[in-house]
């Protein structure tokens, strides 16, 4: 009698398993923008971005590169509020690809462990299965400390440690002073032995706290101070992608940005977008000039 039950049980189990698989493919991973987190890839990869000019133009760069490589892509209709929101959207399967930033992603997904000196491993440990952090570009939008050329010459400033020569006579502040990742006075004192007078968000502080892609750095000829102690966390931009879309062709296409897209280049592209140029046009023009569309 037992031998007669087994075939029937096996048939029922296979039927139940088929229903579960089909229901999973139908429901899980299909987001509001029509993306899918499953390997059957029923549609194009949906590329999202946050509201910043940097994110919009990097998303456009990704789209142009993937299209040139024969991949099907579509830009998301939703513009997310912050880089953390796009991270959560990729993880949730609402979109398939987005520009992400190292430290921002780690703050958004604080569940992994830090591997000292190995950012790739640290990012991988923070991500759930099925989501990949591809290698980053040279560009980063992280916090920098910068001074005017006149201030740099007056005090002989090249790095943060040199600020100790001016003592408490210098103030520190600026637009990004309250941003996550901005160094505290205590962290600067501990790492470099410097003591500066906080000036909040003042744009006239002696030492300006800015994002690395702030157009004032190049426009005003500011000197970015070196941070050899790595007090300020890195924020290199990288493709955060749902694994089913990270095939070899896509990886190779996106990797073309790694060396060519520097912080200065990203700042220039973002400035163009801020001035009204469409991100897709700015991306296509820059990629063409660099010979990266092939």
pLDDT in tens, 177-217: 999 889 988 899 999 999 898 999 999 999 999 999 998 99
DSSP assigned state of 264:
H
Model confidence at 236: pLDDT above 50? yes
DSSP assigned state of 24:
H
110 and 240 inside one domain: yes
For residue 169, is it within any domain?
A: yes
Instruction: Give me the helices (H) in 43-177, please.
Output: 53-68, 83-92, 102-108, 119-126, 149-155
Place of tokens 């509001």: 32
Does residue 52 or residue 7 have the better pLDDT?
52
Q: Three-class SS of residue 15?
A: helix
For residue 273, is it within any domain?
A: yes
Does residue 20 or residue 231 have the better pLDDT?
231
Average pLDDT over residues 259-265: 95
Distance (Å, whole) CA 201 – CA 123 = 31
Query: Which residue spans within 169-229 are E strands per DSSP?
Result: 171-173, 197-198, 207-211, 223-224
- Which band of pLDDT confidence, cut at 50, 70 and 90, is reported for residue 168? low
- Which band of pLDDT confidence, cut at 50, 70 and 90, is reported for residue 39? very low
Model confidence at 24: pLDDT above 50? no
Model confidence at 235: pLDDT above 50? yes
Taking CA 152 as the corner, what is the angle to CA 148 and CA 153, rounded to the nearest 5 degrees? 120
- Spatial neighbors of 113 by CB under 8 A, at least 6 apart, are 122, 125
Q: Three-class SS of residue 239?
A: strand
Query: Backbone dihedral region of 210: left (phi > 0), alpha (psi from -120 to 50 degrees) or beta?
Result: beta
Q: Which of 28-32, 41-45, 76-80, 275-279 has the lowest mean pLDDT?
A: 28-32
Per-residue model confidence (pLDDT) at position 19: 34
Model confidence at 27: pLDDT above 50? no
Model confidence at 7: pLDDT above 50? no
101 and 243 inside one domain: yes
Contact 21/27 with Cβ under 8 angstroms? no
126 and 95 inside one domain: yes
CATH of the domain at 83: 3.40.190.10
95-127 pLDDT, tens digit per residue, is 999 999 999 999 999 877 888 889 999 999 999
Q: Which domain holds residue 165?
A: 143-224
Model confidence at 264: pLDDT above 70? yes
148 and 181 inside one domain: yes
Question: What is the number of domains present in the chain?
Answer: 2
Q: Which of 109-118, 147-156, 230-239 has the lowest mean pLDDT?
A: 109-118
CATH of the domain at 166: 3.40.190.120
Distance (Å, whole) CA 186 – CA 193 = 9
Mean pLDDT (the chain, rounded): 86
The tokens describing 156, both together, are 């002989």
Question: How much of the chain exceeds pLDDT 90, in percent?
Answer: 74
Per-residue model confidence (pLDDT) at position 262: 96
pTM: 0.82
Phi, psi of 260 (to 5 degrees): -75, -35
156 and 92 inside one domain: no
Choosing from 175, 198, 224, the residue where a domain stops is 224
Distance (Å, whole) CA 89 – CA 127 = 13
Model confidence at 40: pLDDT above 70? no
Contact 110/104 with Cβ under 8 angstroms? no
Taking CA 248 as the corner, what is the angle to CA 246 and CA 252, rounded to the nearest 5 degrees? 95
Average pLDDT over residues 35-51: 71
Per-residue model confidence (pLDDT) at position 2: 37
70 and 102 inside one domain: yes
Dihedral, 205, 209, 212, 214 alpha carbons, nearest 10 = -50
134 and 160 inside one domain: no
Distances (CA, A) of 256 to 112, 121, 192, 253, 262: 28, 21, 37, 6, 12
Model confidence at 17: pLDDT above 50? no
58 and 127 inside one domain: yes
Distance (Å, whole) CA 204 – CA 189 = 22
């Amino acid at each position: 009698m037992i031998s007669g039950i087994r075939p029937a049980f096996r048939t029922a189990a296979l039927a139940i398993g088929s229903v579960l698989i089909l229901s999973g493919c139908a429901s899980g991973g299909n987001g509001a923008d029509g993306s899918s987190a499953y390997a059957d890839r029923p549609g194009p990869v949906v590329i999202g971005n946050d509201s910043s000019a940097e994110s919009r133009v990097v998303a456009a760069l990704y789209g142009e590169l993937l299209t040139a490589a024969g991949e099907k892509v579509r830009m998301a209709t939703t513009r997310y509020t912050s880089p953390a929101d796009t991270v959560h959207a990729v993880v949730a399967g609402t979109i398939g690809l987005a520009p992400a930033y190292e430290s921002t992603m780690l703050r958004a997904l604080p569940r992994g462990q830090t591997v000292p000196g190995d950012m790739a491993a640290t990012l991988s440990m923070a991500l759930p299965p099925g989501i990949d952090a591809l290698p980053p570009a040279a560009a980063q939008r992280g916090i920098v400390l910068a001074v005017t050329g006149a201030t740099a010459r007056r005090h002989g400033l090249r790095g943060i440690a040199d600020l100790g020569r001016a003592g408490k006579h210098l103030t520190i502040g600026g637009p990004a002073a309250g941003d996550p990742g901005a160094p505290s006075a205590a962290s600067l004192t501990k790492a470099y032995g410097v003591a500066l007078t906080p000036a909040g968000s003042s744009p006239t502080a002696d030492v300006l706290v800015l994002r690395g892609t702030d157009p004032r750095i190049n426009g005003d000829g500011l000197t970015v101070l070196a941070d050899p102690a790595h007090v300020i966390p890195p924020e290199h931009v990288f493709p955060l992608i749902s694994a089913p879309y990270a095939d070899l062709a896509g990886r190779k296409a996106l990797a073309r940005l790694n060396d060519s897209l520097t912080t200065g280049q990203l700042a220039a592209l973002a400035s163009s977008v801020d001035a009204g140029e469409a991100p897709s046009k700015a991306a296509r023009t820059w990629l063409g000039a660099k010979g990266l569309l092939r």
